[in-house]
Every structure is written in C-alpha cells, then in structure tokens.
Chain A
C-alpha cells in the first residue's frame, strides 16, 4: 500500500493561513470520508487534530479545518501561530486490505 502524498514542507508567517494537501486514490480518500490529520511536535506523541475529513476533536482550535475534493484531502491552519510549527500527517481508511494508510508527512514552518 503506497503512502498518501503530501508536500514535504509548507511555511507561512504568523497570522497567515496555510493549506497542506494529501493526495490518495479511489481506494482510499476518493471513496471514503475517513480522513484524519495528526500534528506531531519534535519528540512528542502525534495528536489528532481532524477526523472524518472535517471534524475537530474536543480541545482542538477552530483554526484547524479540513476538507476533501476527489482524491485529495486538505488541512488548513488559519491565523498561523508559532506553536503550530510541527510535522503533520494525513491518514485514510482504505479498502485495499491494509489497516490504513498514512501520508508522507509535511513539516510546517512559521517564519
């Protein structure tokens, strides 16, 4: 099962909005609304920030939002803050017999 494709890095200035894309196939993102996003600060455990494409878990800032179009899901961070600097991974359910698939990961830098 190939990984979902994400840009290696995305950067933005404080207060700006950035969007991270996550491209899959008709066997995962394109056919199911089970896309989730995880934030990982260096040396820390990953943390769920979006599930089922658009839903935010309790305690996650409204500045994090998700969407999907066709085989591509996106995570948008609005009002970028220094604390948002981290690695972000997407993940999707897949019907290809594996347990699920993760994205290649995106490093977000706040300039």
Chain B
C-alpha cells in the first residue's frame, strides 16, 4: 500500500518560493505507469491539479500554474518535490501529494496534506 507524506514550511512570505517534499514508502518509486502528483485545495474551493512527474523526470503541469511551477524527483530517497515561485495569498492552500495511475487516470494514494499559508 502506497504511503505518502508531505513536508515543508507552513508559512511562506509573498513573492517568495513555496517548497514542499513528498516522501514515498510502501511501493516501488519507479513502478511503470505511475506518476507522482501535486494537488492543492484552496480555502472553500475544490481540488486542483498542480502537476505530475514520472520517475524519469518527465513532467506535466497545470497550464494556469506552469510559469511558476517546478518539480523534481530523487529516486535515491524515494522523494519528489514541488517548487512554486512568486507566491501570493491566492496560493494559500492545503497541498497534497499523491500517486496517479496514468493508464486509467486515477489517484490511488494520497498524503495527509499540509497547509501552506502565504503571509508576511
């Protein structure tokens, strides 16, 4: 059973870069067909894809966030990371990491989520 855990600062200042890491356990980090994914939920809103990354480093981003998003993987540590630059208060959200099965397009494991607040 896949287990994921987000980590990173809970408070980021406006215009700075939000950085989060997701640690994966319970499954092979390099399994074929699975993408590692970031999703967020802004207060009072529904879930929103930020981006996904394959263990090879191939990435796909939400077009609305693409200019500010970077993702990376560290296969030696079974971790993947998110960087979101030039944050504003609108980026305040609960950020989830999850595993996405590419063939059938569903998320079969999620982290607990971490609240990131953008404020000075």
Contact between A100 and B46, CB atoms less than 8 A apart = no
B99 to chain A, nearest CB (A): 10
Taking the complex as formed, is A69 at the interface, i.e. its CB lies under 8 A from any CB of chain B?
A: no
Chief secondary structure at chain A's binding surface: loop
Q: What count of chain B residues pass the 8 Å CB interface test?
A: 22
The size bracket of the interface on A is: 20 to 34
Contact between B48 and A93, CB atoms less than 8 A apart = no
Chain B residue at minimum C-beta to C-beta distance from A102: B47
Contact between A46 and B49, CB atoms less than 8 A apart = no
Q: Contact string, A28-52, partner B, CB cutoff 8 A, digits 1/0?
A: 0000101010100001111110011
Taking the complex as formed, is B108 at the interface, i.e. its CB lies under 8 A from any CB of chain A?
A: yes
A interface, CB within 8 angstroms of B:
3, 32, 34, 36, 38, 43-48, 51-52, 57, 89, 91-93, 97-100, 102-105
Q: Which chain A residues lie closer than 8 Å to B26 at the CB level? A: none
How far does the alpha carbon of A36 sit from the alpha carbon of B99 in the complex, in Å?
14
